[in-house]
Structure 1
Amino acid sequence: MPRKLKTFRTSLGFYDLAIAAPSMKAALEAWSAGSNLFHQGVAKETDDPDVVAATMAKPGAVLKRPAGSSGRFAEQADLPDLDDEESGRKKARWPESKRRMVPAISVEDSRKAAAEFEREQKRRDAERRKEEAARETERAKRKKLVTKAQEALDTARREHEARSETLIAERAAIEKRIEAEDARWENEREELKDALRRARE
């Protein structure tokens, strides 16, 4: 049986967030919070009638509004107007209405909202799995490209080393031939110089 939903609120970045969820843990997962915002004092359960009504109308969906504003929570929200001094004066950490009563929610509506939350959570989980599969595909593709590039580099290095070894061997052979030619020339030159000297005598 689906658990009863509660409404939770927090502020992250430029937005105030709200959600109807069965537990703090479920709310943190839906907000993709990297830490326990409830223990840090920046998230809490709320009984604000407007917020409760908005979240119960879309259980499991993360609703938001510009941070510090008193506007309506919705799935899409504009960024806060940082130049609006009036909204700055009205900004409060937890602007809750104490005069209005929390709207009564029937057992049937509560069950419907809890079932809708579970459907939304399954959709969110499926979306996360899809995103992770896409990231894994991208990682595998990148790994394949890196492996291919590394293999090409290794092949080119081996070919270069083989060519270098061949050229070094050829250079050694040429240097040896040069030395032999120098030695042959030195002998011939000495013989010719002797012959020239004898011819002049």
Structure 2
Amino acid sequence: MMPRKLKVFQTSQGFFDLAIAAPSMKAALEAWGASSNLFHQGFAQESEDDAVIAAAMAKPGIVLRRPVGSSSAFREHAELPSAASLDARPHKEKAKAKKAASAKPSSKRDEKSEREAAAKYAREERQREKQRAKEEAEAAKAREKRNAAIEKAQTAMLQAEAAHEEKADALAKDLEAVQQRVETEEERWRKLKERLEADLRKAKD
């Protein structure tokens, strides 16, 4: 199966312009982490800039960045824009729009380079899928281990609670028996005391 031909898409996000070589708008949106369709909203488009296309095709499937409002090269890691570049952004965007409107369609791309980029994207996509599968398997294993630990702790808690209740019941019975002996002793003493006091009174008489 031939790898899908790649296209280069651009958008802006926060302090950066973003570019990516991907087989579809959907793939680009997923790579950007977009929660809405930026293409339908007019915030993203297919690039016609040869320099941007060359940079993105060299690293297919990788989100490239450059400071927003600048014309610097797209890189995998870019520095934040300066205050001056942010101030100049509206003017540059107007100039870029005029240039795009008057520009002729770009020349035919190097088909060999595009095929190589598409094949590289397909390989890296397979690698990313393997990595995602590995991470999901590790996460599932961690969840299973955590659930086993929770179940073990809950079992230990239930067993300890049952042992405590058993001991508490035994102590309660022992306490009841002791209380009964105390009452019996008090009753015995009361009767003995009454008899002895009666004997004492008789002796005095």
Task: Map 1:70-109 onto structure 2 (within 5 A).
Answer: 70-78=71-79, 80-81=80-81, 84-92=82-90, 95=93, 96=96, 98=100, 102=106, 104-109=108-113
Query: Which of 43-52 and 101-110 deviates more?
Result: 101-110
Provide the C-alpha distance between the structure 2 equivalents of 1:125 and 1:60, rounded to a whole number of angstroms.
12
- What one-letter code is carried by the residue in structure 1 that aligns with 2:83? E
CA distance in 2, matches of 1:161, 1:177: 24
- Name stretches of at least 5 consecutive residues in structure 2 with no aligned partner: none
Q: Quick check: 2:64–2:77 contact (8 Å CA) kept in 1? A: yes
Q: What is the deviation of 1:100?
A: 8.6
Aligned runs of 1:91-130 on 2, under 5 Å? 91-92=89-90, 95=93, 96=96, 98=100, 102=106, 104-130=108-134
Paired amino acid for 1:31: W
Aligned to 2:27: 26
Q: CA deviation at 1:16?
A: 2.8
**2:196 matched residue in structure 1:** 192
Long gaps (5+) in structure 1: none
For the 8 Å contact 1:49–1:101, the answer to whether it is kept is no
- Which deviates more, 182-191 or 123-132? 123-132
- Per-residue deviation, 1:34: 4.0
Deviations 1:73-96 (A, max 9, x none): 112223x14xx3211112259954
State TM-score, norm by structure 2: 0.84
Which residue of structure 1 lines up, in the alignment, with residue 136 of structure 2? 132
Counterparts in 2 of 1:144 and 1:67: CA distance versus 1, 3 Å? farther
2-side partners of 1:137 and 1:175: how far apart? 56
2:65 corresponds to which residue?
Answer: 64
Give the Cα–Cα distance (whole angstroms) in 2 for the partners of residues 89 and 138 of structure 1: 49
Does structure 2 retain, via aligned residues, the 8 Å contact 1:11–1:42? Answer: yes
Corresponding residue for 1:16?
17
- 1:107 is displaced (CA, Å) by 2.1
Amino acid at match of 1:126: K
The equivalent residue for 2:47 is 46
Deviations 1:15-58 (A, max 9, x none): 33211111111212333444433344433222122211111122
4+ residue runs over 4 A deviation:
92-97
Letter of the 1:173 counterpart:
A
Cα distance 1:4–1:132, how it changes in 2: closer, same or farther (>3 A)? same
- Report the counterpart of residue 175 of structure 1 in structure 2: 179
1:148 corresponding residue in structure 2: 152
- Give the TM-score of the pair, scaled to structure 1: 0.85
Q: 1:172: Cα distance to partner?
A: 1.0
Q: Percent identity?
A: 46
String of CA shifts for 1:99-153, please: whole Å, max 9, x gaps. Answer: 6974642222222221111112112212211222222222122212212221222
